[in-house]
Structure 1
Amino acid sequence: MKYLPLIALLALTACGVDGPPIRPEPDAPKPGVTVSGDARIGIVTAL
């Protein structure tokens, strides 16, 4: 238990060692045709 504060301190000091965070580039929309929706096949009757 007496090493827990030391381990916590080492873990916190390791944060950000590789530099400031870099925001990822947004994904570019893929070119092409997109089809979405649903289809139904069957018999419809009304009484």
Structure 2
Amino acid sequence: MKRIIGYTLFWIAIGMLLALFLPNILVAVLTITLLLIGYNIFCSC
């Protein structure tokens, strides 16, 4: 289950990377946070 959650968070973050073209610092921080959390959950097996 942790791998599925990590995988989902990782791809949500990838999708949000497309939204980085907007000049919004909150989106950038949220994207980086989700990317790191998703990667750590998915790869910590």
TM-score interval (norm. to shorter)? 0.3 to 0.5
Q: TM-score scaled by structure 2?
A: 0.34
Q: Which has the higher contact order (CA 8 A, sep 6+)?
A: 2
- The structure with the largest alpha-carbon Rg is 1
More helix by share: 2
